[in-house]
Amino acid sequence: MKKNSVLFVLFILPIVAYLFFASGVNSYTTLPTVTANIPDLGNWESLNNEKVTLNNKVTILGFSGSEILKNRGNLFNLNQKIYQRYHTFKDLQFVMVCPLGTQQDIRSIVDALDEFTDVSQWHFVFTTPENIAAYYKQLHLVEKLDAFSGTPNVYIIDKKKNLRGRKDPKEYKEGYNTFHPSELSNEMLDDFKIILYEYRAALKKNRNATKQLLKN
C-alpha cells in the first residue's frame, strides 16, 4: 500500500494536476473573440506621415491619453515584455491612438526607445479626443477611457480585425494592463502566443495547400 501511494504521488498526481490546469480557461488552442470586426483607424495623422491600418496585421492596440509622459512607464513595460520579444514578426504592429497635441511627447518617448530598440513596428496616430471616444465606443468594451482619452490597457487585434481576449466570466479579460509587468509577462504573453500559433498554423496549412496544387 505504501509503495502504491509513493507511485501515485510521483507519477499519477502530476499527470492529474497537469490535466486539471490544461483544462483551464486559457489553455485553449484559440482565443475567443470579444468584439468582432472592429472598425479600421480613421485617416488620422501619424507620427511618421504613414498610413496606419489594422487590415491584415496582428495589432497590439492602445490609447495613450494626453498624459503620456506621466504614464510613459507603461509603454516601456510593453516594449520590454512583449515588443522586444516579437517585433521581428513581420505581420505584427504596435499601434497607439493619441490625442492631437501630444506629438512632441510621443517623439521624445520614441527617441528614448530608439536608443535600445528597433522602433520600426511602433506606430502612433493622432486625432481629437472626440474621435478617440467615438472610435473606442465601437470596440464595445467594459473598460472605459479615462478623462485624458487614454487607458493603461492594450488590446490584441487579429488580422481580421477581431478583438480577442478571454470571455469566461471567472477571468474575463478584454485588455492587458501595461502598468503591471507581471500581467504582460503572464496573461498577455500566454494569449498572444495563441494568436501567433493560429497565424503560423494557417500559414502552414496554406503552404501545404499550395504544394498540393503544384503536385496536381
The tens digit of pLDDT for each residue in 43-54 reads: 999 999 999 999
By CB atoms closer than 10 A (0-12, 13-18, 19+), residue 53 is middle
Residues 6+ apart with CB under 8 A from 123: 46, 47, 48, 50, 52, 93, 94, 95, 96
**What Rg, from alpha-carbon coordinates, does the chain have?**
21
Please check whether residue 2 lies inside any domain of the structure.
Answer: no
State the DSSP code for 200. H
Please check whether residue 136 lies inside any domain of the structure.
Answer: yes
The tens digit of pLDDT for each residue in 17-45 reads: 433 333 344 444 689 999 999 999 999 99
pTM: 0.82
* 1 SS3 class: coil
What would the grid cell of residue 101 be? 497635441
Please check whether residue 8 lies inside any domain of the structure.
Answer: no
Q: CATH number of the domain that 109 lies in?
A: 3.40.30.10
What is the per-residue pLDDT for 38? 98
What would the grid cell of residue 203 be? 500559414
Please check whether residue 26 lies inside any domain of the structure.
Answer: no
Domain that holds residue 136: 32-215
| Sheet strands (E) in the chain | 33-35, 45-46, 58-64, 92-99, 122-127, 150-157, 163-164, 176-177
The tens digit of pLDDT for each residue in 144-195 reads: 999 999 999 999 999 999 999 999 888 899 999 999 999 999 999 999 999 9
Domain count, the chain: 1
Of all residues in the chain, what percent carry a pLDDT higher than 70?
A: 81
Cα torsion at 151, 51, 159, 77 (round to 10°)? -40
What would the grid cell of residue 6 be? 509513493
